């Protein structure tokens, strides 16, 4: 009887040890880090359109010739690529402009830096209910990005096209509190940027980021009621890394490829003015 109990206890202990070992092995994969070895592949997080498409073009057509192995991971929001870059799960990311990056660093205590501007995605106002600005009804509901940088940018776009008047000097830092004249009594509905294309069935109009507009089947150059101008636009999208990784030779190779004549032609040919090279 005692021998049986002893064997039973040993079996339980062995099973528990094996289970813990298995869980530890499984858990180790969840915290995987992207390698800092300059000879290993470079893992880059990106929004699906146009960022991942541009990176895939580089991967397929240019990377091997430059001695670069590239892996592209697609994200559908504006937060996870930055947190994954900060924790080392990604070597770099490609989805954001500098004003958003600066705000993210300030709010989250991260130290992420841009290493090269690639393109501009003009912000646009879209609608399924009206064909021009004049047709927007009194009291129309307008959705726009709920993050501070793109929200202010959206309000400035409306102001630049006569729909609003903002306090002097606020520019793209504007909030709804800075609206001093609203002749059409527009109602504002802040939404996560990725939700804006889907909101068009429910609102009168929406100010949509260029990447999500394209991803939602819109063509900014022809479908937008109004579109940001490219000249002097501070919202060029950047390749971003954690501070200290700027001189990684893989990162430098990728910057050079992203700013190459081949990529410029690819952007111009594929997006036909809806995405504009920034180099």
Instruction: Give the count of domains, the chain.
Output: 2
Residue closest to 75 by CA, chosen among 48, 40, 110 = 48
Q: What is the pLDDT of residues 141-198, one digit of tens each?
A: 999 999 988 999 999 999 999 999 999 999 888 999 999 999 999 999 999 999 999 9
Indicate the average pLDDT of the chain.
89
Tokens of 74: 């697609």
Domain that holds residue 271: 42-122+234-277
**Cα–Cα dist 155/94, whole Å:** 25
DSSP codes of every residue in 233-279: ---EEEEEEETT-TT-HHHHHHHHHHTSHHHHHHHHHHHTTSSEE--
Instruction: Indicate the pTM of the whole model.
Output: 0.77
If asked whether residues 130 and 222 sit together in one domain, one would say: yes
If asked whether residues 51 and 131 sit together in one domain, one would say: no
> Which of 209, 227, 245 is a domain's end point?
227
Question: Would residue 32 count as lying in a domain?
Answer: no
SS3 115: strand
Please give the biggest Cα pair distance in the chain: 91
Q: Is the pLDDT of residue 264 over 90?
A: yes
How many percent of the chain have pLDDT more than 70? 89
Q: Is the pLDDT of residue 16 over 90?
A: no
Summarize the confidence of residues 226-251 as an average pLDDT.
Answer: 93
Question: Would residue 158 count as lying in a domain?
Answer: yes
């Amino acid at each position: 009887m005692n021998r049986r109990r002893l064997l039973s206890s040993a079996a339980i202990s062995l099973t528990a040890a094996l289970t813990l070992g298995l869980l530890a092995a499984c858990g180790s994969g969840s915290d995987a880090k992207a390698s800092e070895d300059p000879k290993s592949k470079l893992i880059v997080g990106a929004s699906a359109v146009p960022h991942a498409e541009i990176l895939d073009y580089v991967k397929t057509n240019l990377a091997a010739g430059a001695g670069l192995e590239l892996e592209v991971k697609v994200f559908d929001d504006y937060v996870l690529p930055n947190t994954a870059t900060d924790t080392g799960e990604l070597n770099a990311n490609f989805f954001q402009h500098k004003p958003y990056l600066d705000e993210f660093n300030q709010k989250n205590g991260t130290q992420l830096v841009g290493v090269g501007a690639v393109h501009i995605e003009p912000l646009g106002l879209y609608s399924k209910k009206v064909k021009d600005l004049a047709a927007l009804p009194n009291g129309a509901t307008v959705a726009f990005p709920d993050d501070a940088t793109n929200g202010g940018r959206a309000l400035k776009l409306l102001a630049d096209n006569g729909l609003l008047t903002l306090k002097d000097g606020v520019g793209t830092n504007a909030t709804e509190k800075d609206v001093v004249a609203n002749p059409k009594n527009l109602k504002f509905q802040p939404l996560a940027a990725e939700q804006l294309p889907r909101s068009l069935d429910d609102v009168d109009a929406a100010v949509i980021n260029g990447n999500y507009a394209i991803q939602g089947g819109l063509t900014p150059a022809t479908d937008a009621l109004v579109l940001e101008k490219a000249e002097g636009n501070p919202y060029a999208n950047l390749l971003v890394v954690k501070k200290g990784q700027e001189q990684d030779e893989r990162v430098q190779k990728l910057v050079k490829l992203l700013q190459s004549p081949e990529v410029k032609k690819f952007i111009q040919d594929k997006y036909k003015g809806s995405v504009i090279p920034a180099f």
